[in-house]
Amino acid sequence: MTDAPQLYLMTPAGAQASTLAPLLSDVMDRFPVACLRIRGGAEEDELGRLADLAREIAHQRDVAVVIDDHVRLAQRHGLDGVHLTDGTRGVREARKELGTDAIVGAFCAASRHDGMNAAEAGADYVSFGPVGDTALGRGEPAPLDLFQWWSEMIEVPIVAEGAVTRDLIQQLSPITDFIAIGPEIWTSDDPAATLKGLWG
């Protein structure tokens, strides 16, 4: 475990490919991104366009791309895997569909139990959150001691996401492998500058 987690970048939910392209390129040119996640919320045709765009931008920079839940879209558009938003459900099935080389991640809210089940089912990483206070979160924020315990006890990489602040990044840095940033920056006029303020 290092003290420097990697940046896991999420696209805005329901993004339009044409408007996102220059913003995404700018952010990825200025920051080393470990993984790019395409969030759902758009029609399938638009998600397909977004997948092609994100793959092109990310793969030029040697960055892996996953998409929320859509196993078939991941296959069809040459993405690196999927991020399952309902925790342990579907991990084995996604692995069977996508093969051993694909990335399969699982969001497990604040449930240690779900995280362990996802890891045992073959998830490549487990995501917990929200880590900050948000009206959009389901249930209580994922506590820092969950990340502390996981980083000490479990080999599977861990992602922190949801309502991330600069203060939380500093607290989470020693106890998480990746920090997911997305909604925190895309509503601003200059996402790259906002990310610099958060990430440093």
Average of per-residue pLDDT across 110-138: 91
Amino acid identity at 103? I
| Alpha helix segments (H runs only) across the chain | 17-30, 44-60, 71-76, 91-98, 112-121, 144-153, 166-172, 183-186, 191-199
65-98 pLDDT tens trace? 999 999 999 999 999 999 999 988 899 999 999 9
Task: Tell me which of 184 and 200 has the higher pLDDT.
Answer: 184
Q: Is residue 1 part of a domain?
A: no
C-alpha 106/C-alpha 112 separation (Å) is 12
Can you give the CATH number for the domain in which 11 is found?
3.20.20.70
pLDDT higher than threshold 90 for residue 47: yes
The per-residue pLDDT for 1 is 42
The per-residue pLDDT for 36 is 98
132's CB contacts (< 8 A; 6+ apart) are 141, 162, 163, 164, 165, 168
The per-residue pLDDT for 139 is 72
pLDDT higher than threshold 60 for residue 137: no
Q: Is residue 153 part of a domain?
A: yes
State which residues form the domain around 103. 6-199
Computed on alpha carbons and rounded to an integer, the radius of gyration of the chain in Å comes to 16
Give the number of domains in the chain. Answer: 1
Q: What is the average pLDDT score of the chain?
A: 94
Question: Model-level pTM?
Answer: 0.96
